[in-house]
């Protein structure tokens, strides 16, 4: 029978067959190919090839003559300058500094104070002038200007404390002089035969001493952070001498650098102290004043991100230029103590030699007699 549309009407048999027919199997999905793993990049070649990795690491212990200038300011009460001004206790500073050096060097640099001398006097300046309690108080109160010239006269100190013969007899290796503003001491200086620049000119009239020695001038008006800064500049002086690039460090600290950027083949120490401003995209650890992203002196709180291979220096000489984006959060967000600890911790301190230089740079910093003059 036909329906009005002209199509044949399904029969009862067709209806029953459709009712019991098994549905057609669904079309299986297309097979999914397994993910193709990303190719593993070849390892980077080490930035330097060590001469050897077997020369032992030497622990250097430096014997210190500790001198404290802390004159009595009130004869009635016996109060000393440090107490009247509420400045730091020199012994606390010395202990904190010794601990920091041992920690940041992983125990390879150690200090032993063999004698402590406290002097109730103001040191003589180069023209013979000496402050007394009254004149120094006027300078501190800003009622008079500091005396000019301001430099200390080292000769009576060297003579009075018998420093040169004691260095020659290996009784002491260096001298720490705790002092105060306008006492005239440099942060560090070097004496002895073959003495060279150590953040200041060498001590005059000391060439007859057969061993070189360093005098550190520490101010007890300041803290351990500033002591580490003085030590950091000493480190820059020692290592730039080792790597024969003292002019480079002078250039890096200039505000009007010419040329503006580092050259194409920096040595290892130049790579270490590079910062983004002088080596765009190739920063190392920086200098004591310039962190990897600094744009001016003491710019330790800069949050600008820059690429740096500072992490690579933790595994020197096998570092593979582990470049990461860094900013001030790495080194204490502007804290002077934290930054200088961070900087010192990155100094190489491992066995072997590279390019004729020990892979333990600390030994040169601690013992200037290991540096070729």
Confidence category of residue 373, pLDDT binned at 50, 70, 90: confident
Torsion of the alpha carbons at 46, 105, 342 and 268, rounded to the nearest 10? -30
Q: How many Å apart are CA 164 and CA 166, to the nearest integer?
A: 5
Q: What are phi and psi of 218, to 5 degrees?
A: -110, 135
**Cα end-to-end span (Å), the chain:** 121
Question: For residues 171 and 63, is the Cβ–Cβ distance under 8 A?
Answer: yes
- Among the residues of 161-245, which ranges form H helices? 163-168, 224-242
Domain edges within the chain: 60-370
Confidence category of residue 39, pLDDT binned at 50, 70, 90: very low
Q: How many Å apart are CA 304 and CA 192, to the nearest integer?
A: 44
Which residue's structure tokens are 């000769």? 155
Question: For residues 188 and 215, is the Cβ–Cβ distance under 8 A?
Answer: yes
> What tokens does 56 get?
């032992």
Helix (H/G/I), strand (E/B), else coil: 342? helix
- pTM over cut 0.75: yes
Q: For residue 372, with 0-12 CB atoms within 10 Å meaning exposed, 13-18 middle and 19 or more buried, which class applies? A: exposed
What tens digit of pLDDT does each residue of 45-78 get? 345 688 888 889 999 999 999 999 999 999 999 9
pLDDT of residue 14: 52
């Amino acid at each position: 029978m036909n329906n009005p549309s002209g199509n044949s009407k399904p029969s009862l048999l067709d209806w029953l067959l459709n009712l019991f027919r098994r549905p057609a199997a669904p079309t299986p999905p297309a097979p999914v190919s397994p993910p193709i793993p990303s190719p593993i990049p070849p390892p980077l070649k080490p930035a330097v090839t060590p001469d050897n990795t077997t020369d032992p690491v030497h622990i250097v212990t430096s014997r210190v003559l500790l001198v404290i200038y802390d004159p009595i300011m009130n004869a009635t009460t016996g109060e000393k300058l440090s107490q009247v001004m509420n400045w730091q206790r020199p012994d606390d500073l010395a202990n904190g500094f010794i601990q920091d050096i041992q920690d940041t060097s992983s125990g390879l640099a150690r200090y032993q104070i063999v004698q402590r001398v406290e002097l109730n006097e103001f040191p003589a300046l180069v023209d013979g002038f000496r402050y007394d309690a009254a004149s120094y108080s006027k300078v501190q109160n800003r009622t008079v200007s500091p005396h000019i010239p301001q430099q200390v006269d080292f000769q009576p100190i060297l003579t009075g404390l018998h420093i040169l013969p004691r260095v020659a007899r290996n009784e002491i290796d260096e001298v720490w002089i705790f002092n105060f503003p306008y006492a005239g001491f440099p942060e560090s200086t070097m004496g002895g035969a073959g003495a060279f620049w150590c953040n200041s000119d060498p001590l005059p009239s000391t060439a007859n001493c057969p061993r070189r020695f360093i005098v550190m001038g520490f101010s007890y008006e300041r803290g351990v952070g500033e002591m580490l800064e003085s030590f950091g500049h000493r480190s820059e002086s020692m290592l730039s001498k080792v790597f024969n690039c003292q002019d480079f460090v002078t250039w890096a600290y200039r505000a009007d650098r010419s040329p503006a950027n580092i050259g194409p083949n920096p040595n290892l120490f130049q790579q270490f102290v590079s910062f983004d401003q002088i080596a765009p995209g190739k920063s190392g650890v920086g200098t004591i004043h310039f962190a990897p992203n600094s744009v001016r002196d003491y710019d330790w709180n800069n949050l600008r991100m820059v690429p740096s291979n500072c992490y690579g220096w933790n595994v020197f000489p096998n570092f593979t230029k582990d470049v990461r984006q860094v900013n001030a959060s790495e080194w204490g967000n502007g804290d002077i103590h934290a930054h200088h600890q961070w900087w010192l911790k990155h100094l190489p301190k491992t066995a072997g030699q590279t390019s004729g230089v020990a892979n333990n740079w600390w030994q040169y910093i601690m013992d200037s007699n290991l540096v070729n003059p």
